[in-house]
A and B are shown apart, each in its own frame.
Chain A
Amino acid sequence: MSILIDETTGVIVQGITGRDGSFHTAAMIEYGTRILGGVTPGKGGQQVSGVPVFDSVKEAVAKTGATASVVFVPPKFATSAIREAAEGGIRFVICITEGIPVLQMVATTAELAERGVRLLGPNCPGLISPGKSKIGIMPGRIHKPGRIGLISRSGTLTYEVVYNLTEAGLGQSTCVGIGGDPIVGTGYIDLLDLFEKDHGTDAVVLIGEIGGDDEEKAAEYIRTKMSKPVVSFISGRTAPPGKRMGHAGAIIAGGRGTAEAKVGAFREAGVPVADKPDEIPALLRDKLAAKR
């Protein structure tokens, strides 16, 4: 099993004719994802990697029956693309785009929540259920099907952790990047809850970073609501306060959002925190062995 997506998920790509959109459409199809079509206004009727391009999401959904959409549209138009997806009948929107003004996301997340449409991202690598489907930009071949769930605010750091897991023989059920912006759709707690209920997941790795207090809230959730083991890693222990570390959300502001506070919260909740990404497999094994 896996969460959110599997081999049956039908996907369209918004911004499919763009540089990133077309490149990753090909990579997703090669991985086995059911890419059913794409949308670029004004380019309906064309083909990209053998799938049809439509002028609107509504048309694409009507013709293909897709339920998920991945957005590669530039920041200026990204939130209208997300809204178009929600209005057009898509149930799960994955937004890869980086650089969307935060204020636009305030309104967009509220609107999608009202419609009951799930959003992942923005500024995220997407998600993958290894061996079944990947909707996003992560390199597929470093993953391996298995029973570890992974949640992360980062892209390449997630690859680093997956690489260590796979090398240690620990395959993954689903790996989800929630995005590095201050305001994102799906958060840690939504996903922890899904992994807790998923019969295909035995344990979860949570990769957090400085900024905000989502990690602290996740720690509290794990302590009170989760039976499955969780192992964590937090980046940004050496980040200076007041400086944005690449991700728009990765900033220590007014003394809040420090790595220290997050590490402390996890340890208090009984969640081991790795000092190095390559310690994660051993920590997982310990936790899983203790449970048996």
Chain B
Amino acid sequence: MKIHEYQARALLAEYGIPVPPGKVARTPEEARSIASEIGSQVVVKAQVLVGGRGKAGGVKLANSPAEAESRAREILALTIKELPVEKVLVAKSVEIKKEYYLSVTLDRARKRVVLIGSASGGVDIEELAVVDPGKIVIAEVDPLKGLTPGPAAEFSDRVFPTKRASEQGADALVKMYRLFVEKDCSLVEINPYAELPDGSLVAADAKINFDDNGVPMHPEIERLRNDEEYSRDEIEARTAGLSFVSLDGDVGCIVNGAGLAMATMDLIKLFGGSPANFLDVGGSSNPEKVLNALRIITGNRKIKAILINIFGGITRCDDIANGIVMARKKLDMRLPLVIRLVGTNEKEGRAILEREGLGAAERLSDAVKMVVARSKEGR
């Protein structure tokens, strides 16, 4: 789960990491009053959950409250990578002497939390890793001891050229790590970590992502969730307990299991069709989930045909069949429907479908070919 910069700043501040003064505004008028509160030059920054806002004109300086208001008006009218800007951060513009980079993140390959630092901050770290990897310092955190001041200071000395900066960096890292662990983050990043003329360091921009598995255990983090990260269908699916991702094709898919759901999408593409979504109905199926899945899919007007692909393990084919029957009674099911049903209680499931006059394929390739053909009939 991603959160906005203004939310990330608040968390950093909560953990004692200095950030320039600032607040979030939803209207130009609010931006003006925040700017006059700050009382100096401010930066107005679009709050969107995608990168590249600077290039898109989403970050602007303002020298007066009136100017902050008009900059905010311009930015709030923008759409960045299909996301309309609904909020701006109005923060004190600080004079930056030097930019550093600090982050705490998970390294899958090492199975460790790692610290990443660089004295060349302010740029995209992934780009830097390709162009000039020598400028990046990485260290693993001992998973059983956590990050203690000793190793933090050692790491910091490798990143920062001066003792004063290094001390502040080490202190920030210990706090970032504590935040990372306590809130089940997958990334805590400060970039740039900005050195001001007086030698103090502040988080001039911040990014925090959370491990989706951890979010349910932290209600205060769940409250930070931004629905604009998701499509309307994705939000509805989450409420229904379905794992769902919107794509832009016209073949709706309902599958059990994430790997098989991805493979089904891939096959649709391979056979010349275009998948409209990823949807995993999950392990322990109940008919209600199938009904909800079909409700979401039939609500998408782009969809021309639907494929239900079930390989029953824990999922029982008769539960799925009952869900399909229920959906046909409750929903407008005029779209062509192709069903593939094998595995646990397959016979029972097929019998239920047959009573409704529905057939089911046995082979995945056959079912996919069929649904792709049906999706093209309506064009």
Which residue numbers of A lie inside 8 Å of B, CB to CB? Answer: 19-20, 75-76, 98-103, 105-107, 109-111, 125, 137-139, 142, 152-160, 163, 180-183, 207, 209-214, 217, 233, 235-240, 243-250, 254-255, 259, 275-278
Q: Which residue of A lies closest to B257 (CB)?
A: A156
Question: What CA separation (Å) do A244 and B243 show in the bound complex?
Answer: 9
Interface centre among A163, A217, A255 (most CB of B within 10 A): A163
Interface residue? B38 (CB, 8 A): no
Ordered nearest first, which 10 A-B pairs have the shortest CB separation?
A: A154-B259, A246-B258, A156-B257, A157-B259, A101-B214, A235-B262, A156-B260, A235-B263, A110-B143, A157-B260
Interface residue? B212 (CB, 8 A): yes
Q: A103-B181, A212-B108, A238-B265 are in contact. List 16 more A-B contacts (CB 8 A).
A: A101-B211, A102-B211, A103-B113, A107-B143, A139-B312, A152-B259, A154-B260, A155-B260, A155-B313, A160-B311, A180-B259, A181-B213, A212-B109, A235-B260, A245-B262, A248-B213
Contact pick for B259, options A155, A182, A244, CB 8 Å: A155
Q: What are 24 inter-chain pairs, A to B, with CB distance below 8 A?
A: A99-B216, A101-B184, A106-B143, A107-B144, A111-B144, A137-B283, A156-B255, A156-B260, A157-B257, A160-B311, A183-B108, A212-B108, A235-B259, A235-B262, A236-B266, A238-B265, A238-B268, A240-B245, A245-B262, A245-B278, A246-B258, A246-B261, A246-B262, A248-B212
Interface centre among B126, B143, B365 (most CB of A within 10 A): B143
Interface residue? B217 (CB, 8 A): yes
Question: What CA separation (Å) do A236 and B255 show in the bound complex?
Answer: 14
Contacts of A278 in B (CB 8 A): 363-365
Interface residue? B298 (CB, 8 A): no
Contacts of A125 in B (CB 8 A): 313
Asked if A217 contacts B109 (CB within 8 A), the reply is yes
Contacts of A160 in B (CB 8 A): 260, 263, 311, 364
Q: Which residue of B lies closest to A103 (CB)?
A: B184
Asked if B269 contacts A237 (CB within 8 A), the reply is yes
Q: Which residue of A lies closest to B214 (CB)?
A: A101
Interface residue? B186 (CB, 8 A): yes
Q: Which residue of B lies closest to A162 (CB)?
A: B311
Q: Which residue of B lies closest to A237 (CB)?
A: B266
Question: What CA separation (Å) do A157 and B280 show in the bound complex?
Answer: 12
Question: What CA separation (Å) do A110 and B107 show in the bound complex?
Answer: 14
Contacts of A275 in B (CB 8 A): 270
Asked if B144 contacts A244 (CB within 8 A), the reply is no
Interface residue? B267 (CB, 8 A): yes
Interface of A is mostly: loop
Question: What CA separation (Å) do A211 and B262 show in the bound complex?
Answer: 12
Interface residue? B314 (CB, 8 A): yes
Cβ of B7 to closest chain A Cβ, rounded Å: 18
Interface residue? B342 (CB, 8 A): yes
Cβ of B105 to closest chain A Cβ, rounded Å: 10
Question: What CA separation (Å) do A249 and B259 show in the bound complex?
Answer: 11
Q: Which residue of B lies closest to A106 (CB)?
A: B143
Q: Which residue of B lies closest to A247 (CB)?
A: B258
Q: Which residue of A lies closest to B342 (CB)?
A: A163
Q: Which residue of A lies closest to B181 (CB)?
A: A103
Asked if A103 contacts B259 (CB within 8 A), the reply is no
Contacts of B144 in A (CB 8 A): 107, 110-111
Interface centre among B106, B255, B275 (most CB of A within 10 A): B106
Question: What CA separation (Å) do A95 and B313 show in the bound complex?
Answer: 17
Asked if A276 meets B259 with Cβ closer than 8 Å, knowing A110-B143, A160-B364, A245-B245, the reply is no
Cβ of A116 to closest chain B Cβ, rounded Å: 15
Asked if B109 contacts A102 (CB within 8 A), the reply is no
Contact pick for B262, options A99, A181, A209, CB 8 Å: A209
Asked if A250 contacts B258 (CB within 8 A), the reply is yes
Contact pick for B213, options A102, A138, A159, A239, CB 8 Å: A102
Interface residue? B112 (CB, 8 A): yes
Contact pick for A214, options B106, B109, B259, B260, CB 8 Å: B109
Question: What CA separation (Å) do A180 and B260 show in the bound complex?
Answer: 12
Asked if B217 contacts A101 (CB within 8 A), the reply is yes
Contacts of B257 in A (CB 8 A): 154-157, 246
Question: What CA separation (Å) do A156 and B311 show in the bound complex?
Answer: 6
Interface residue? B284 (CB, 8 A): yes
Contact pick for B278, options A138, A153, A246, CB 8 Å: A246
Question: What CA separation (Å) do A247 and B258 show in the bound complex?
Answer: 6
Asked if B211 contacts A103 (CB within 8 A), the reply is yes
Mark contacts of B345-370 with chain A using CB atoms, 8 A cut-off: 1 yes-contact digit, 0 otherwise: 00000000000000000011100000
Interface residue? B111 (CB, 8 A): yes
Cβ of A19 to closest chain B Cβ, rounded Å: 8
